[in-house]
Amino acid sequence: MIEIKELSKSFKKTLAVDGISFSVAKGEIVGLVGENGAGKTTTLRMLATMLKPSSGTAAVNGYDIQRQPSQVRGEIGILFGGEVGLYDRLTGRENISYFAELNGMTKAETASSINELVNLLDMQEYIDRRVGKFSRGMKQKVAVARSIVHNPSVMLFDEPTAGLDVSAARIVQDFILHCKEEKKAIIFSSHSMSEVEKLCDRIVMIHKGKIVEQGTVAELKAKYRNDNLEDVFVQLVGESNGN
Partner 1 sequence: MGINVIKLVFLKELKDIFRDKKTIFMSLIIPLLIFPLLFLVLGGSMDKSMKQVEENLTVAIVDSGNSSLSQFLHNQETIKLVESTDVEADIKSGKILVALEVPTDFDEGIKTEKPVDLVLLYDNASQSSQMAFSAVSGIVDAYSKAVIEQRLLTRDISGDLLTPVVIDARTTEKEEEGFGKFMLSLMLPLMLVIFSISGPMGVAVDLGAGEKERGTLEPVLTTQAGRLSLLWGKFFAITVMGLLSTIASLLGLLFSMRQEGGLFQGSAVSIEPVTLVLIGLVTLLLTMFFGALELSISIYARSFKEAQTYISPLMMISFIPTYATYMLDAKNIETYYFHIPLANVSCILKEFLAGIYNFTHIGITFVWIIIYIFAAVLFARYMFSKEEVIFRT
Residues near partner 1, by CB under 8 A: 11, 45, 48, 50-52, 70, 73-74, 76, 78, 80, 82-90, 94, 98-99, 101-104, 130, 146
| Least distance in angstroms from the C-beta of 80 to partner 1 | 7
Cα(128)–Cα(121) distance, integer angstroms: 14
Question: What's the DSSP call for residue 130?
Answer: B
Nearer to partner 1, 63 or 233 (CB): 63
Nearer to partner 1, 150 or 208 (CB): 150
User: Using alpha carbons only, how large is the chain's radius of gyration in Å?
Assistant: 18
| Least distance in angstroms from the C-beta of 2 to partner 1 | 15
Nearer to partner 1, 35 or 87 (CB): 87
| Least distance in angstroms from the C-beta of 35 to partner 1 | 19
Nearer to partner 1, 85 or 238 (CB): 85
Q: Which residues of 19-56 are buried (b: 16+ CB within 10 A; e: fewer)?
A: ebebebeeebbbbbbbeeebbbbbbbbbbbbebebeeb
Nearer to partner 1, 89 or 198 (CB): 89
Cα(5)–Cα(14) distance, integer angstroms: 20
> How many CB atoms neighbour CB 241 within 10 A?
9
Q: Which residues contact 165 (CB under 8 A, 6 or more apart)?
A: 136, 137
Quick one: how far is CA 29 from the chain centroid? 10
| Least distance in angstroms from the C-beta of 135 to partner 1 | 17
| Least distance in angstroms from the C-beta of 157 to partner 1 | 12
